Chain A
Amino acid sequence: MKKRILALLMSTVMVFGLAACAGDDQKKEEAQKEETAGDEKTSEGQGGKEIKDMTFDELKEAAKGSTVTFYGWGGDEVLNKWLDDVFAPAMKEKYEITMERVPMDIDQVLSQLSGEIQAGEEDGSIDMIWINGENFQSAKENNMLYGPFVEKLPNFGDYIDAESEDVTLDFAYPIEGYEAPYGKAQMVMIADTAVTPDLPKNTDELLEVAKANKGKVTYPALPDFTGSVFVRNVIYDICGYEQFLDMEADKETVKKAIEPALEYLRKLNPYLWNEGKTFPDASTTVDNMFADGELVLNMTYDAFGTSIKIADGTYTETTQSFQFDKGTIGNTNFMAIAANSGNKAGAMVAINEMMSPEIQADRFDKMKVLPVVDYNKLSDEQKEAFDKVDLGKGNIAQDELLSKRLPEMPAELVPIIEEIWLEEVVGK
């Protein structure tokens, strides 16, 4: 046995020793790689011509017969089916491009991408990525994305309002042509009017609802996306939103600014599920708890998703989504291209197609995703396709929803708020 323990110690020492050496090696390789990375972005040529100098028609030609991989979250059956059964066949027919959907969480996509880039892989497996917010900022700052590319895409110029902040900024971070809009999201809250007839119009009324339904209100534990946006919304409602748009990403500054909201959240705690000592792990858990009647309030980024769930039978017929009077936070999700993508031309063609009015109208119709095209830029015929979409039961009218749309905070503030919430709100 002694031998065994000795071996254990020896190998631990060995492992750490080797680690130091490996570090050096990698550094060297990295330095080399970095040199090539600079021109990698531009040197990606097909038929002698560089991608960035090609016209869109040339890109279409170059992409013919190729395969484009599309990496993104794969937990939505309706969306998956739409991508496989509507979008992929359309791409095949129109451009002879095969679309391959790869279901992967964004953190894993970035892991894989960073690994490939670190290893110097030039013909990378990731082409198109579904991304936004802090992940985009991080990926762009680490040179993991290809761009700028959106100016090249005809549908971007024709149908997208390139001036609107929904398209130029992603969580207040300048996009600079590195990602193209895919769909819009906006936070709404959901309740069953048969259970809670008076829907809260602000945080004060929300507190009343919580008091009246003790133990039946909660929100997902941060850093869950939805929990996080809910807390930011509470902050906006109490502290106003303007001050945050150019706030310095400093913990003390942020804490000072959001103190009244923290005070409110602590006041809310005693009336929450499990008395605010524990929060559900994810928005999906809250969705289920709401559907089961364990909670009377739900919240989601999927602004028009309620009608789908009512139609499925998951929610009752009397379920209704609603907003605060001061509005709720909306953002856009985007498509980007990996810096080392082996098929940048194909990815651009696919992204362009995704922004076409026909596809956007179909997404609006089938999945109730807020479209990214500018309504005013559409022809009458195209407008009609959007007009005739029936939003179904339980949703807020689109005009009203968008009229109360608040911008996201700068991405760097988000993790800071999440940290403060954990320290100052949970169990307090």
Chain B
Amino acid sequence: MQRKLTPYILLVPQIVLTIFFLIGLITGITQSLGVIPAFGLREPTLFYYKEILTKPDMVNSVLYSLRIALFSALFSTAAGVLLCALLVNGCRTKGKMMRIVQLPIIVPHVVVALFAINICSQNGLLARLAYAFGLIGEQQQFPALIYDAGGFGIILAYLWKEIPFIIYFVIALMANIDGKLGEAAVNLGAGKVQTFLRVTLPLCASTISSGFLIIFVFALGAYELPFILGATTPKALPVQAYIQYTHPDLRNRPYAMALNGLIIVISLVCAGLYFILMTRSQKKLAGKK
């Protein structure tokens, strides 16, 4: 009996907070349906969703956001895991190295954007170096790494911030597993790389994949980097939501909330797809064995 109750007791504070969160979420969604009594909006309607979904540049915006999110998450995760493995392998999981890894995690996104401009813009340090070495004669000849319609600059900025995030997210666990099981495997005659691929990586898989998902969903919903480093068109979804949100007419808020609603739905769909894919591939792996 006691054992049956234990999980629920453990979950009490979590559930209380979740209720707060749900209230916030539900109120937010209510606003996207055009119900904001303070501004005299009362009747729930799907008008705002219809309106944003029929905008001509909407498909482009969605694809643009998805591309940024996917590439940022994919490359950060891959590079992050690789670097993490190198760090664990070299026993550099503490001290100075970790301080450096922590740096980008702490740096706020607005500052990351400033960094990207300082380094990569046509006026940045790289362009100046190219000029100093005579590689280019004018600013405009330096490739437009940021402000481009492909979102390259945004992805680059996300990589700078999120690769260390992945390292940080995974390293404690990886070091722990590596220390405990890795040695055993090596003693049993497996090579280091093999041990990593066969033992350590699978055991970290769920953490790594949640790291991937966190970055993906975050990059899909955050407006700072696309707003500062993105092109004027297409605009990322969260940028559109932000612009609607700052629109001086308060009755435009439902548009912002509907756009956010759209982001939430896309996030949920992606997360769902992702879970399905993950379980399938896990089953496949298990089947092979």
Contacts and interface: CB of A to CB of B under 8 A. Distances in A.
Contacts of A138: 248-251
A107 B35 contact: no
Contacts, number: 114
A133 interface: yes
A16 B117 CA distance: 42
Contacts of B250: 110, 114, 138-139, 142
A19 B232 contact: no
A23 B35 contact: yes
Interface in B88-134: 117, 121-123
- Place the interface of chain A in its size category: 35 or more
A115 B31 CA distance: 12
A285 interface: yes
Given A118-B37, A278-B232, A26 B30 contact: yes
B227 interface: yes
A5 B37 contact: no
Nearest to B138: A215
Contacts of B33: 19, 23
A177 interface: no
A420 B284 CA distance: 53
A294 B37 contact: no
B38 A22 contact: no
A281 B30 contact: no
A277 B232 contact: yes
A130 B42 CA distance: 29
A230 B231 CA distance: 20
Contact of B38 (A4, A12, A118, A427): A118
Interface in A271-309: 274, 277-282, 285, 288-289, 292-294
Q: Is the interface of A mostly helix, strand, loop or mixed?
A: helix
Interface stretch (B76-84, B159-167, B239-247): B239-247
B139 interface: yes
Contacts of A23: 30, 33, 35, 44
A274 B232 CA distance: 11
B233 interface: yes
A276 B249 CA distance: 28
Contacts of B230: 281
19 contacts: A1-B275, A5-B275, A19-B30, A23-B33, A27-B37, A33-B37, A138-B250, A138-B251, A215-B139, A277-B149, A278-B149, A280-B147, A282-B228, A292-B123, A294-B121, A294-B123, A415-B248, A422-B233, A427-B233
Given A142-B40, A280-B147, 7 more contacts: A5-B276, A118-B38, A221-B232, A274-B147, A285-B117, A294-B122, A415-B248
Per CB-CB distance, the 6 closest pairs between chain A and chain B, nearest first, are: A30-B37, A134-B248, A118-B38, A1-B279, A107-B246, A294-B123
Interface of A: 1, 4-5, 8, 12, 15-16, 18-20, 22-23, 26-27, 29-30, 33, 105, 107, 110, 114-115, 117-118, 133-135, 137-139, 142, 214-215, 221, 223, 274, 277-282, 285, 288-289, 292-294, 411, 414-415, 422, 426-427
